[in-house]
Structure 1
Amino acid sequence: MLSRTNVLTYLEDSTRRNPNAIAVIDESGTYTYARLLEDTQHVGSALARCGACGSSVIIMLRKSELALACMLGTLQAGACYVPIDTSAPTHRLRHMAATLGNALVVAGEKNADAVRQALPGQEVLIAEELLRQPVDTGALEAARSHTLSCDPAYVMFTSGSTGTPKGVAVSHGAIASFVDEFVRIFGFTSEDRFANQAPFDFDISVKDVYGSLAVGATLVLVPRELFMQPQALVDYLEKNQVTVMVWAVAALCIASAYHVLAPGRLQSVRQVLFSGEVIPRKHLDAWLRCLPDARFVNLYGPTEITCNCLYHVVDRTAAYPQGLPLGRSFGHCEVLLLDEADRLVTEPGRLGELVVRGPSVALGYVGNPEATGRSFVQNPLNGLYHDRVYRTGDLAELLDSGDLVFRGRRDNQIKYMGHRIELEEVDKAFEDLPGVQRCRCAFDARRQRLRVFFEGTADEAALPRLVADTLPASMRPSSITRVDSMPLNKNGKVDRAELLRTYFPTKSKEGR
């Protein structure tokens, strides 16, 4: 297959094959491939007239066909899209907009005023109005001619260790290299119906969007509200006859935790692919019992390598005493396990850092050359020519089988509720509040809780309300505790583990 220079060709090819096939189902209705393509052309023409080519476009829309049309329409205009949660705190939104520079902003009729208030002086384009603009074939062709496979297609912001989010820029070529392999390995077809769980600003959604477009399948956009109604969620999936679920572990656990899974339910589902964190065995078993004939796959990979680099097909007969493996690498990339001296780990039982190389490695962090230089580096095993790799910071153990098992983080970055969080960002948000002299948070892995500890005079009861202006819901702690002083480790740094042991010992009650 010829390499793709633009991921819009997935949509265009599937439209040519079957223009009347259903591309998207959302709360408003169904949309064919022909309609989706036409919508992207209207949006792209309007954005091109606004000078979008070569720049970035912030998309602040509720998950819908309209949002998808604006994202892909941005690509039609020769720009890269930046999906941002409509509920993002103002401080965070302003930082992301400043990082992007002269980005255009697209919002909906219902939230445009709120976005204008959050970004004073910024022109906000209305998505519904963009759809009504005429298609300018010449402008679209000109934009396409300037787009290369190495150009960014999207930017997604992740938590940053300096207390500010980092924007990961991912190219057209990186998406294509992953999606082509993803589709090949798991055999998706035009008959599939993908149940999209993840928000568009979470890179799990990239697999749904481009996986379905690549084969001409249907993308079913599951309303966010249903994840607070487990029974209604399962009913919705059945009503829409979904066949593929590419979900975060936290989302799968919602259904299994509330015991709405039972044999005979969700019988149209043939594949469940999960990622984001280690799935608890009891939750996995509940899903396996519910879907005895479905294939379950554990996926691994950070945003910086474009979705995933490792996969493991769950063996229903295996006990996995050492933990569910991350598996083996996809064919488009290579995953290295390097020890502290950057030597390749080849002996089973040893730990190392996961380092990824290949065409799906991201371009880097937007406007942050220092962070880019720390994580996107020359392959330490290759001193002969330029060979860029991404250091994930994740530790893994090599098993006798050749598989890899996740063994934690090198630093203070964690996975919480399916989101990647760096503890320092939470620390900084609290330390910026009045009355907080120092803050350190810690992840209580046993209870799956994020705990905050602080020194100072601030009112503990008032802090959750104050920090809500800075931190998104996924980064807010389960508990806030004032301490007289922070325990230190032998290196003179605050010992986060000791904080947990002192204030939340193993035998303490959950409600503490």
Structure 2
Amino acid sequence: MRAESRVAVCLPRTVNLVVALPAVIKAGGAYVPSDPDHPRSRVDSILRHADPLLVLDTEALASVDRAACPDTAPDVVVRPENTRYVICTSGSTGQPQGVAIPRGAVANYLATTRRRFPLSSADRMLFSTTVAFDMADTELYLPFTGGAAMVVAGKDTVADPSAVLDLIRRQGVTAVQAVPVRLAETPAKQAAEVFNMYGPTETVTWCSEARVKAGEGAPIGRPVGNTCAPPTTR
């Protein structure tokens, strides 16, 4: 595998997915995430669009001879400008459109987010977002930058708001990321802090953040490190 070789990863939200994505990055490749629970037509469309070197799904993993795999680090050179992943959005056309995100941009985002939300070994972050949505980046990588634990929510749990709440309480989750409609189903009112995060796919997940205060609106807020925002942004 060479730098930026595309690897489609189509795995359910389990430990295999959590390991597979960093493995592709470690090997120098660029992963193309898709959700196996999405319609087959969409998954096939993403695969045609991405034209990956390899499709890593449950069947492919089952056929791997792990004993034959080397235990040494891959010999590959990558740079900040090399692609880390290609995320497919529907945009205005309704058809998957790939957006290539460089490694350096993700590293910058995680470094900034870690400073603003310094998770530690005492924290646990919920991983409940489909990997096909770039919002999952925060849940996938932020916990490990500070030694926190990741609590993986299976698809059946995510589909049931009460099950999500039970998982949060049972596992002692301290950090949750969710779209606004989902926050209505989680104990947002019990949180020590609530933040509004904003950003399109092209700017790497979130490009600005602002603390939300009760009874007030949710401004876009300030930009992440090493970036700027229009003067009208508060």
TM-score (norm. length: structure 1): 0.43
Which amino acid letter does the alignment assign opposite residue 227 of structure 2?
A: C
Provide the residue aligned with 1:84 in structure 2. Answer: 34
| Cα distance, 1:97 vs structure 2 | 1.6
From 178, 194, 206, the equivalent of 1:308 is 206
Q: How far off is 1:246 after superposition?
A: 1.5
Question: Aligned in 2, Cα 1:332/1:133: closer, same or farther, shift over 3 Å?
Answer: farther
Q: 1:239 to 1:163 in 2, by over 3 A?
A: closer
Between the aligned partners of 2:68 and 2:26, the Cα distance in structure 1 is: 14
Matches within 5 A, 1:135-174: 135-137=69-71, 140-143=73-76, 146-174=77-105
Contact 1:70-1:127 within 8 A present in 2 as well: no
Q: Quick one: distance in 1 between partners of 2:52 and 2:205?
A: 27
Q: Which residue identity does 1:91 align to in structure 2? A: S
Deviations 1:443-501 (A, max 9, x none): xxxxxxxxxxxxxxxxxxxxxxxxxxxxxxxxxxxxxxxxxxxxxxxxxxxxxxxxxxx
- Shift of residue 160 of structure 1? 3.0
Contact 2:35 / 2:43 at 8 angstroms: preserved in 1? no
One of 218, 221, 232 as aligned partner of 1:324: 218
More strand by share: 1
User: Identity of aligned pairs, percent?
Assistant: 26
Per-residue deviation, 1:217:
0.9
User: Against the structure 1 CA distance between its residues 203 and 65, is the aligned structure 2 distance closer, same or farther, given a 3 Å change threshold?
Assistant: same
- Name the structure, 1 or 2, with higher relative contact order (CA <8 Å, separation 6+): 2
**5 Å matches for 1:30-429?**
51=1, 54-109=4-59, 126-130=60-64, 132-137=66-71, 140-143=73-76, 146-253=77-184, 255=185, 287-288=188-189, 291=190, 294-316=192-214, 319-320=215-216, 323-336=217-230, 398=232, 403=234
Contact 1:60–1:106 under 8 Å retained in 2: yes
The structure whose Rg is larger is: 1
Contact 2:10–2:56 (8 Å) recurs in 1: yes
Q: How many angstroms apart in 2 are the aligned matches of 1:107 and 1:298?
A: 34
**What is the alpha-carbon distance in structure 2 between the residues aligned to residue 104 and residue 332 of structure 1?**
34
Per-residue deviation, 1:129: 3.9
Superposed displacement of residue 107, structure 1: 1.0
Summarize the Cα distance change of 1:70–1:227 in structure 2 as closer, same or farther, 3 Å threshold.
closer
Deviation of 1:171 (Å): 1.3
- Residue segments in structure 2 that go unaligned for 5+ positions in a row: none
Q: How far apart, CA to CA, are the structure 1 residues paired with 2:41 and 2:102? A: 27
Alpha carbons of structure 1 residues 102 and 224: separation in structure 2 relative to 1, 3 Å: closer
Distance in 1 separating the partners of 2:65 and 2:118: 34
Alpha-carbon RMSD: 2.1
Q: Is the 8 A contact 1:197 1:222 kept in 2?
A: yes
Q: Quick one: structure 1 residues 78 and 133, their matched pair in 2 at CA, closer, same or farther if it must change by over 3 Å? A: farther
2:143–2:149 contact (8 Å) kept in structure 1? yes
Q: Secondary structure at the match of 2:141?
A: helix
The number of equivalent residue pairs is 234
Once the two structures are overlaid, the 10-residue window that deviates more, 127-136 or 177-186, is 127-136
Letter of the 2:141 counterpart: Y
Give 1:312 shift.
0.9
Partner of 1:381: none
Return the offset for 1:159.
0.8
Q: Aligned partners of 1:131 and 1:200: how far apart in 2?
A: 26
CA distance in 1, matches of 2:158, 2:45: 29
Q: 1:55 offset after TM fit, Å?
A: 1.1
